[in-house]
Amino acid sequence: MKKALILYDSVYGNTKKVAMSLSRGLEAGGLYVDSNFIEDFDIRGLNNYDIIGIGGPTHYHGASKKMKSFLNKIKHLKMEGKYGFAFETKGEFRLAGSAAKRITRYLNKINLKIVHPTITGIVLDQEGPLKDATLDFMEQVGLNISDKVNNSNSQSKLNRRSKN
């Protein structure tokens, strides 16, 4: 069974809710999932996972201080053959910026195959709540990601067999 890891930063609990919904979707798709707050995770354990999702709230048009610090700790890792995706929570206004864009840049630096474009959960006020149906949407996104990863692995096996 493939293993997924969801790492997140959360201030008011909204990003944690998104992370948990993504986790439920990944599990529904047949993956084993661990979820951790970024400060509670030892980066030496990243190699134990096939899929890594990292997310946080958008602060000052980008990633939070905690997220920036975490990303700097992982930027030297090489994770070839593994999948990744970034998610965020932010307000719904044009100049909000994006934490997920920065996270995606770091996921690319450590050679993860990006399996889904950035995923955004809209927060209606600074402290929440999340926009209606966000958690259901996130669960569906998690299921879609697990389908992509499972199907791409099956496709890789088929491609290897046809070459032999």
**pTM summary value:** 0.92
78-127: pLDDT as tens digits? 999 999 999 999 999 878 899 999 999 999 999 999 999 999 999 999 89
Query: What percentage of the chain has pLDDT greater than the value 70?
Result: 93
Task: Check residue 153 and give its pLDDT.
Answer: 56
Pairing of strands 32-37, 51-59: unpaired
69-80: pLDDT as tens digits? 999 999 999 999
The CA R_g of the chain, rounded to the nearest whole Å, is 16
**Residue 157's pLDDT band (cuts 50, 70, 90):** very low
All structural domains of the chain: 3-163 (3.40.50.360)
For residues 87 and 53, the answer to whether their CB atoms sit within 8 Å is: yes
The residue behind tokens 């949407």 is 137
3-class SS of residue 58: strand
Check whether 163 has a pLDDT greater than 70.
Answer: no
Check whether 23 has a pLDDT greater than 80.
Answer: yes
Task: Check residue 58 and give its pLDDT.
Answer: 96
